[in-house]
């Protein structure tokens, strides 16, 4: 029994060890594109290498879905802990500013704020990303590192689920702290330009046990001067569902990975404002 | 030349002097110290603390066989990102030791082979480890000395080992340890 306990302890310790998945080599933006235009932003997307679901896991998930009465994703909050470490380098001899926006996808939906229009008012603020978008100054030819912590990515995952499955307004989700939420209430779809319309609760609340974890990380790098960004995704695989080949799994063992096909989240676009 | 000379000296000294009484047989050792990687890997991993456990049996007064498990923790320093990340190096294997004693002091040489495990792939980026390669063969060799306490079961010692892990980009490290030994 003691031997078994020791073995279990070692296994548990190993599953909590982080694994690092490198992102695209060098996201570069802020330079001329050769046609007189400035490359304003660079985008990168990294899908986590999630192994195919076992029969036992699928059965357990179906049982949980029947018990909760809601769709239960394969990869849930708490299955993995993700953080994103990045380093930006200013290649310009002048001081610059950059913003880094975090978006992503769970297995149901992908969230790209650039295609989500919440208002037809030209002066309305842009749809927010899930995290980031903070202007950061960087000295001439300087380097700066930072991180989206595990709790930030967890918050972003829950916000994404609440926005997409729950129709929660992205500003509401972004400005409230949901990382410890026990559930969220799905609402009727938003109708952004109808001032008389009030979203109503619809269906049962979705409990935390059915919260979807982000399985794809999307970054948008927006520098003011010529800069390059590198990042690495750090994963702690608490449930043992991340493929051991990590970033190489797609090339070397594609058959052992789950292929997720999230839908693009696109609420009903607002009606154009009548011309005065 | 120095190695064989030292070995001869150690073996020759065994049993020459009238040594302080010491148990011989099954033994256990627990030690702690530091492990540092040598150039080639040292650029990507800082020195770190280690712990080491050994169990074995003295087959003769000058020769023993045992097993060793060791763990050390290091800050990874590859080009960022990532930054401020740590990893652990775990080792386990078989160990042989030859030596001799002069009164209360014992000198020994040790060496062995086993497996090594890096706890994460943080050094994939610099080619020390490769994706999916978790375990690797590891070899170690070193020397040390031991002070026999008045209680015949106990001794304390100081030892150092060089470690070679060929599959992890031929990573080489040196570990030192201060240890307590109990012989049944």
Map out the domains of chain A as residue ranges: 19-264
Find chain A residues with C-beta within 8 A of B134's C-beta: 244
* pLDDT > 70 in chain A, percent: 91
What is the CATH number assigned to the segment(s) B23-183? 2.40.160.20
Closest CA to B104 of B29, B39, B22: B22
The pLDDT tens digits of the residues spanning A153-171 come to 999 999 999 999 999 999 9
Q: Determine contact: A117 vs chain B, CB below 8 A.
A: no
pLDDT reported for residue A6: 46
- Tell me the torsion sign for CA atoms B34, B35, B37, B43: negative
Chain B contacts to A (CB-CB under 8 A): 80-83, 85, 88, 119-122, 124-125, 131-132, 134
Domain residue ranges in chain B = 23-183
Confidence at A37, pLDDT banded by 50, 70, 90: confident
Contact A244 B132 (CB under 8 A): yes
In A, minimum Cα distance to B126 occurs at: A22
The pLDDT tens digits of the residues spanning A73-93 come to 999 999 999 999 999 999 999
Looking at per-residue confidence, does B17 or A150 come out higher?
A150
- Tell me the torsion sign for CA atoms A227, A223, A40, A231: positive
The pLDDT tens digits of the residues spanning A93-115 come to 999 999 999 999 999 999 999 99
Confidence at A269, pLDDT banded by 50, 70, 90: low
Token pair 């990975």 is at which residue?
Answer: A257
Distances, alpha carbon B11 to alpha carbons B23, B100, B107, in Å = 18, 6, 9
pLDDT reported for residue A189: 87
Q: Determine contact: A89 vs chain B, CB below 8 A.
A: no
Closest CA to A71 of A200, A238, A209, A267: A209
Ranges in chain B, pLDDT < 70: 1-19
Residue B174 CB neighbour total at 10 angstroms: 15
Letter string b/e over residues A125-151, b meaning 16 or more CB atoms within 10 A of that residue's CB: eebbbbbbbeeeebeeeeebbbbbbbe
| Cα–Cα dist A180/B26, whole Å | 53
pLDDT reported for residue B169: 92
Distances, alpha carbon A109 to alpha carbons A12, A77, A106, A127, in Å = 31, 15, 6, 16
């Amino acid at each position: 029994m003691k031997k078994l306990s020791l073995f279990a302890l070692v296994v548990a310790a190993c599953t909590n060890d982080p694994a690092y998945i490198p992102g695209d080599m060098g996201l570069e933006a802020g330079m001329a594109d050769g046609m007189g235009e400035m490359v304003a932003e660079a985008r990168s997307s990294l899908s986590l290498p999630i192994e195919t679901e076992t029969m036992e896991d699928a059965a357990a998930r179906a049982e949980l879905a029947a018990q909760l009465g809601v769709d239960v994703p394969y990869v849930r909050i708490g299955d993995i802990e993700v953080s994103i470490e990045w380093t930006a380098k200013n290649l310009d001899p002048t001081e610059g500013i950059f913003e880094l926006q975090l978006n992503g996808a769970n297995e149901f939906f992908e969230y790209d704020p650039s295609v989500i229009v919440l208002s037809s008012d030209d002066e309305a603020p842009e749809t927010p990303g899930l995290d980031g978008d903070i202007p950061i100054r960087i000295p001439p030819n300087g380097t700066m590192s930072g991180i989206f912590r595990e709790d930030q990515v967890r918050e972003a995952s829950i916000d994404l689920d609440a926005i997409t499955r729950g129709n929660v307004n992205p500003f509401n989700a972004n400005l409230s702290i949901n990382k410890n939420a026990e559930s969220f209430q799905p609402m009727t779809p938003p109708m952004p330009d109808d001032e008389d319309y009030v979203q109503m609760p619809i269906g049962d609340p979705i409990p935390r046990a059915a919260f979807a974890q982000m399985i794809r990380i999307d970054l948008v790098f927006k520098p003011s001067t010529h800069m390059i960004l590198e990042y690495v995704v750090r994963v702690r695989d608490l449930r043992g569902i991340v493929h051991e080949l990590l970033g190489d799994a797609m090339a070397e063992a594609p058959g052992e990975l789950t292929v997720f096909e999230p839908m693009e989240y696109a609420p009903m676009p607002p009606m154009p404002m009548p011309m005065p | 030349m120095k190695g064989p000379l030292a070995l001869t000296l150690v073996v020759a000294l065994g049993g020459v002097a009238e040594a302080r009484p010491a148990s011989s047989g099954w033994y256990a050792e627990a030690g702690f110290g530091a492990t540092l990687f040598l150039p080639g890997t040292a650029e990507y991993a800082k020195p770190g603390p280690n712990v080491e456990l050994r169990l074995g049996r003295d087959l003769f007064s000058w020769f023993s066989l045992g097993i060793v498990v060791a763990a050390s923790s290091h800050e990874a320093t590859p080009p960022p990102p990532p930054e401020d990340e740590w990893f652990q190096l775990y080792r386990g294997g078989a160990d042989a030791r030859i030596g001799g004693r002069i009164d209360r002091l014992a000198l020994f040489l040790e060496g062995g082979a086993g497996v090594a495990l890096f706890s994460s792939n943080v050094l994939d980026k610099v080619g020390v480890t490769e994706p999916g390669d978790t375990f690797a063969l590891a070899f170690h060799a070193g020397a040390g000395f031991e002070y026999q306490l008045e209680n015949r079961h106990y001794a304390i010692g100081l030892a150092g080992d060089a470690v070679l892990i060929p599959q992890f980009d031929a990573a080489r490290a040196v570990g030192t340890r201060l240890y307590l030994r109990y012989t049944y």
